[in-house]
Structure 1
Amino acid sequence: MDSIDLEVLKAADSWLDAGHACELVTVVQTWGSSPRPVGAMMVLREDGLVIGSVSGGCIEDDLMARVRNTGRKQETPELLTYGISAEEAFRFGLPCGGTIKLVIEPLSGKSRIKQLLAHVMHHNLVMRQLDLVSGAVRLAPAQAGAVLDLTLSVLTTIHGPRWRLLIIGAGQLSQFLAQIATGLDYQVVVCDPREEYRLAWQVAGVDVIHAMPDDLVLEMKMDSRTAVVALTHDPKLDDLALMEALKSEAFYVGAIGSRINNARRRERLKEFDLSDAQLQRLHGPIGLYIGSKTPAEIAISILAELTAIRNGVALPDKMSVASAKDEIELPLWSPAGREVVPTQLN
């Protein structure tokens, strides 16, 4: 599963190769509420075909109509603002009087889309600087945490995976997790020293590294944009890796397992050189409680928790798997003092 940005770049590259005229549209500023964040992109072909999104529908419709009715008149980038008036905000579906500013860039060979796509496909984080006067483009390595920047003459955008996810174990759940995480702009690394699991791996674009997980955690130099998820159920593989990850700056460290197994894991980890604060960082059982049963559902549950944490959302404790199941399994008592077994919730 490609991220939205990667889909846009692939479409732009394909259309240019086929001789189509197309434009790259980027959200560069927003005020008030806006459906899509700064940095969102879409590519628009001369016949009105579009890949990506900058508003969720209404602005795309207007841009497509403009291309169909008037053709491409701009040869250099232009700035376009929607939603200044209350009438426009209502027309284009911008809630609460929101305003959105776009850069519309006619694409050509000098846009360097093919080179940018090659870097992103190799999981490189790239800075693209667009000269708003001439349309010339410069590419350079980007630093982790870099963000879009707009000046009077230059638009700087960041492309490539903004986050890293290390998955320990290459089982079926890991395959679903890797697929969805790739679409969420993670650079996914899967580690499993067990040959039988590596041979069964089937996720395109995500390879399995043959290494001991704790060694790989140290090698990757975990930073605040990295998450670690242990999925093997094997203490020999998970525990040492979790220990090293908990000592790092990783924004999320978690392990799959029941409440009982996670309690036992915490007891084992106490024997290592970890502080109470470091142990408190361990998530387990991982994920948000959504009644997940299948590997695909569990992967969604895990990534929902990662998304909330990386977005700085404080989740209530009752949304965790452990708390939700504790509450579900508490016995209920009738007014007569009889215990009533609660219905299992999914």
Structure 2
Amino acid sequence: MESLDLRVLADALAWHQAGHAVTLVTVVETWGSAPRPSGALLALRDDGHLSGSVSGGCVEDDLIARTRASVRSGDTSTKSTPSMVTYGVSKDEAARFGLPCGGTLRLLQEPLMDTAWLKELLTRTAAHELVTRTVHLPTGRVTLTPGLRTSKARFTEHEWSSTFGPQWRLLLVGAGQLSQAVAHIATLLDFAVLICDPREEYASAWPHQSARVNHLPGMPDDVVRDMQPDAHTAIVALTHDPKLDDMALMEALKSNAFYVGALGSRRNQTARKARLGMHFGLSEIELSRLHGPVGLDIGAQTPAEIAVSIVAHIVEHKYCAGATLSANKTIAESSTRCCL
């Protein structure tokens, strides 16, 4: 499953190849309660069709109207360099476009002329690479460089840069039905999903259409250790086999992963923590990081419902801890954080 931004870029490429004039519109700066964050992307076709959103519908109608007016007037010429447009400078304009609380958007408009960079970006992100795209504003020249999960969008007088690809990782230990449901939802939310299950009968049964899920060979403890979990990594043990789950957890709870969870009842979790402390020497601080039973308590019963509760809990902690943790934070520091 493609992320929203990558789907917008794929639509832009397809439209351009079909002979349409296409403009990419990006939110580069916001003030007040802007409806969409910096980096939100929209592709606008010469006949008014669009993909994506820069305001949740507030200013898109105006952008479409301008495009259609140009077509009706016969002015189909397109500037070859980027331009800036701002919505919501005054209270009256903010009210006119439905921007909440006087919010203001600054948008970068890029006529899509050269698609070589776009083809390369889509190819590299399809291979699970993180790619930073930098636009030189005076000329419109685009350069692509390797991205980092800690990369943030940046806007200056001369440049705009943003990163495409999965910035958050989710390792699922176990390839059963529940893991399939969790993986499906997580990919919709732009997680790079990794699966570890040394049981061949489970790994071989994974749906072929899950092309964006990477399967990692080996035993769970080795996989967790080798992937070097950071503050943008979540790890969830779902095999229901204590031997496999405990192997993953003994490494995960010592890592910098922002979320570690395990399937099982409260009684099983109590027994699990006793095993991990007694046999693997994990400290009380490390054990306190384990979310078990995993997920939010929403009364979930089916695999799909349980998957919703798990991913929702991960997202909650992603914004609670992940947004403020830097790569050099220690486990002791991160374990004291809580969601407000």
- Structure 2 length normalisation: TM-score? 0.89
The answer to whether the Cα contact below 8 Å between 2:217 and 2:223 also exists between their aligned partners in 1 is no
Q: How far is the alpha carbon of 1:49 from its aligned partner? A: 1.1
Structure 1 position 142 matched with structure 2 position 138: no
Q: Which runs of 5+ in 1 are unaligned?
A: 317-346
Query: Could you report, residue by residue, the CA deviation over 1:191-212 in whole angstroms, capped at 9, with x for unpaired residues?
Result: 1111111121112321333321
Structure 1 position 19 matched with structure 2 position 19: yes
- Look up the equivalent residue of 2:107 and give its one-letter code: L
Structure 1 position 98 matched with structure 2 position 98: no
The answer to whether the Cα contact below 8 Å between 2:25 and 2:43 also exists between their aligned partners in 1 is yes
Which position in structure 2 is the counterpart of 1:33? 33
The answer to whether the Cα contact below 8 Å between 1:34 and 1:99 also exists between their aligned partners in 2 is yes
The residue matched to 1:278 in structure 2 has which SS?
Answer: helix
The residue matched to 1:44 in structure 2 has which SS?
Answer: strand
After TM superposition, the runs of 4+ consecutive aligned structure 1 residues lying more than 3 A away are: 313-316
Which position in structure 1 is the counterpart of 2:211? 204
The answer to whether the Cα contact below 8 Å between 1:227 and 1:252 also exists between their aligned partners in 2 is yes
Q: Which runs of 5+ in 2 are unaligned?
A: 322-337
Give the number of equivalent residue pairs: 316
Q: How far is the alpha carbon of 1:16 from its aligned partner? A: 2.1
- Look up the equivalent residue of 1:79 and give its one-letter code: M
Q: How far is the alpha carbon of 1:59 from its aligned partner? A: 1.1
- Look up the equivalent residue of 2:112 and give its one-letter code: L
Which position in structure 2 is the counterpart of 1:242? 249
Q: How far is the alpha carbon of 1:111 from its aligned partner? A: 6.1
Higher relative contact order (CA 8 A, sep 6+): 2
- Look up the equivalent residue of 1:121 and give its one-letter code: A
- Look up the equivalent residue of 1:137 and give its one-letter code: V
- Look up the equivalent residue of 1:19 and give its one-letter code: G
Change (3 A) 1:94 1:15: same
- Look up the equivalent residue of 2:84 and give its one-letter code: L
Query: Could you report, residue by residue, the CA deviation over 1:91-145 in whole angstroms, capped at 9, with x for unpaired residues?
Result: 2221111111111111122561111111111111111111111111110112221
1:178 aligned residue (167, 177, 183): 183
Q: How far is the alpha carbon of 1:75 from its aligned partner? A: 2.3
1:228 aligned residue (235, 245, 248): 235
The residue matched to 2:44 in structure 1 has which SS?
Answer: strand
Q: Which moved more, 1:266-275 or 1:12-21?
A: 12-21
2:273 aligned residue (259, 263, 266): 266
- Look up the equivalent residue of 2:91 and give its one-letter code: A
Percent identity, aligned pairs only, is 54
Which position in structure 2 is the counterpart of 1:254? 261
**CA distance in structure 2 between the partners assigned to 1:214 and 1:93 by the alignment:** 52
Query: Could you report, residue by residue, the CA deviation over 1:36-90 in whole angstroms, capped at 9, with x for unpaired residues?
Result: 1111111111111111111111211111111111145432111111111112212
Q: How far is the alpha carbon of 1:315 from its aligned partner? A: 4.3
Which entry has the higher C-alpha Rg, 1 or 2?
Answer: 1
- Look up the equivalent residue of 1:9 and give its one-letter code: L
Which position in structure 1 is the counterpart of 2:315? 307
1:281 aligned residue (285, 289, 309): 289
Q: What is the 5 A alignment of 1:35-184?
A: 35-71=35-71, 73-109=78-114, 112-184=117-189
